A = this chain, B = another copy of it.
Amino acid sequence: MPAYRDLSKEELLEEKASLEAKFQEVKEKGMKLDMTRGKPSAAQLDLAMGMMDVLNSTSDLKCIEGVDCRNYGVLDGIREAKQLLADMTEVAPDNIIIYGNSSLNVMFDTVSRSMTHGVMGSTPWCKLDKVKFLCPVPGYDRHFKITEYFGIEMVNIPMTADGPDMDMVEKYVNEDPTVKGIWCVPKYSNPQGLTYSDETVRRFARLNPAAEDFRIYWDNAYGIHHLYDDKQDHLIEILMECKKEGHPDMVYKFCSTSKVSFPGSGVAAIAASEANLKYIRKHMTIQTIGHDKLNQLRHVRFFKDIHGMVEHMRKHADIIRPKFEAVLSSMEKNLEGLEIGSWIQPRGGYFISFDALPGCAKAIVAKAKEAGLVMTEAGATFPYGKDPEDSNIRIAPTFPTLDEVKTAMEIFILSVKLVSIDKILMEK
């Protein structure tokens, strides 16, 4: 079939009637499909069930330093957990602080601390008239919610195939002292699955911020979340790159095992320069006596080391790869040539990003919901929930079963086609 917009009005109406009939059929099945969030499936969680057995009532619960992990103490993580998460995020163990169960919480904390106590001695942001964050779009909704909650003004930065538009980033960061941060998911980005190019990372490291308290918020959530063994993206390690360029303190790097072991029961960490970590530890000393060391121990004893973790991620990939491929092949088969949407084929991460015709995203998501498929709210991938083009839709294929993904894609494709035809008809 040729591009929809090249069809005559009559041809479009005919196509619409045929699609409507199919949509009614699917709708009548009364499906309940959830593709809202980047959640692992039960089969993926089963992979880590061995973690439930590694500690038992006869285990030695001392960590390498000899500390009893059942008691108070060890503010910033047991040594072996630091090693594991340092390897996971490609930094030295001395550049790591282990937190609780959620990297989102670490990021929230980081912004909250900057609001009340500034950054390494700078003026607390709550004392400033204006604070801005750059937000590569489309991006991760929960990042944007944090900055919105703290009244931080968000500036959209378009994503390119190489990462954020670095000309814009450089202009803002180097010239505007109210710009204090930029949210990045640099590898297998949320939602596009893009990885920042070498040149992009180097340009990040060479920024000369107008604000001394500017930091890159580098959320490396999908650092080891490859889909393939033979096709993997590589991301330059940002801490070292910033250090090389004479800006060792310019970046906070976040990671967690949420999508490695168990979401909500994993281990999170921040990686940064020693000067940054020193300032953060001062805050932590007041905030807590320490995070859950038994869970840190559980993780280390289960994965053993980074090789164990990498092997474990291969098993995740085996489960989710067919789901990604089902989504992509469905789009290729059913949408290619119609010119009513575009998508990116990711090599890792948790999402596939779909760009519909402008003004169609909300309507497509609403249409899909009619037939029982709940997707991430359209607009969620932009600050304030406002996609200026109303075009981007995030597809999260990991949680449903493969069969459910296939059914979900039928609904999705029908929804895209029907909404697009309406849009084109209106313009004819």
What is the 8 Å Cβ interface bit string for chain A, positions 265-301, against chain B (1 contact, 0 not)? 1000000000000000001011111111111000000
**New contact pairs (19) apart from A45-B70, A104-B288, A295-B295, CB-CB < 8 Å:** A45-B71, A52-B55, A52-B56, A53-B56, A69-B265, A71-B264, A72-B258, A72-B264, A100-B101, A100-B292, A102-B290, A104-B287, A105-B288, A108-B288, A116-B126, A124-B126, A142-B286, A146-B286, A292-B295
Give the distance in Å from the alpha carbon of A57 to the alpha carbon of B55 in the complex: 11
**B115 and A265 within 8 A (CB):** no
- Say yes or no: is A3 at the interface (Cβ < 8 Å to chain B): no
Task: Kindly identify, within residues 41 to 84 of chain A, every residue whose CB is under 8 Å from any CB belonging to chain B.
Answer: 42, 45, 48-50, 52-53, 55-57, 59, 68-73
Q: Which residues of B contact A283 (CB under 8 A)?
A: 149
Interface size on A, residues (CB 8 A): 55
What is the 8 Å Cβ interface bit string for chain A, positions 90-130, against chain B (1 contact, 0 not)? 00000000001110110010001001110000001011000
**A71 and B39 within 8 A (CB):** yes
Copies in the complex: 2
Q: With CB as the reference atom, state the residue of chain B lying closest to A297.
A: B265
- Say yes or no: is A321 at the interface (Cβ < 8 Å to chain B): no
Q: Which residues of B contact A57 (CB under 8 A)?
A: 49-50, 52-53
**B72 and A37 within 8 A (CB):** yes
Q: Which residues of B contact A112 (CB under 8 A)?
A: 112, 116
What is the 8 Å Cβ interface bit string for chain A, positions 350-376, against chain B (1 contact, 0 not)? 000000000000000000000000000
**B70 and A262 within 8 A (CB):** yes
Give the distance in Å from the alpha carbon of A52 to the alpha carbon of B264 in the complex: 18
* A257 vs chain B, min Cβ distance (A): 12
Q: Which residues of B contact A100 (CB under 8 A)?
A: 100-101, 291-292
Can you show 14 pairs from A to B with CB atoms below 8 A apart?
A39-B72, A42-B71, A49-B57, A52-B59, A71-B264, A102-B289, A104-B287, A116-B150, A124-B126, A145-B285, A262-B294, A264-B291, A264-B294, A265-B292
**B115 and A286 within 8 A (CB):** no
Q: With CB as the reference atom, state the residue of chain B lying closest to A100.
A: B100
* A59 vs chain B, min Cβ distance (A): 7
Q: Known contacts A57-B50, A292-B101, A292-B292: does B264 contact A73 (CB below 8 Å)?
A: yes
Question: 7 closest Cβ contacts across the A-B interface?
Answer: A126-B126, A49-B57, A265-B294, A72-B263, A45-B70, A149-B286, A70-B262
- Say yes or no: is A138 at the interface (Cβ < 8 Å to chain B): no
Q: Which residues of B contact A50 (CB under 8 A)?
A: 57
* A299 vs chain B, min Cβ distance (A): 12
Give the distance in Å from the alpha carbon of A49 to the alpha carbon of B61 in the complex: 10
**B71 and A291 within 8 A (CB):** no
Task: Kindly identify, within residues 306 to 336 of chain A, every residue whose CB is under 8 Å from any CB belonging to chain B.
Answer: none
- Say yes or no: is A40 at the interface (Cβ < 8 Å to chain B): yes
Q: Which residues of B contact A117 (CB under 8 A)?
A: 149
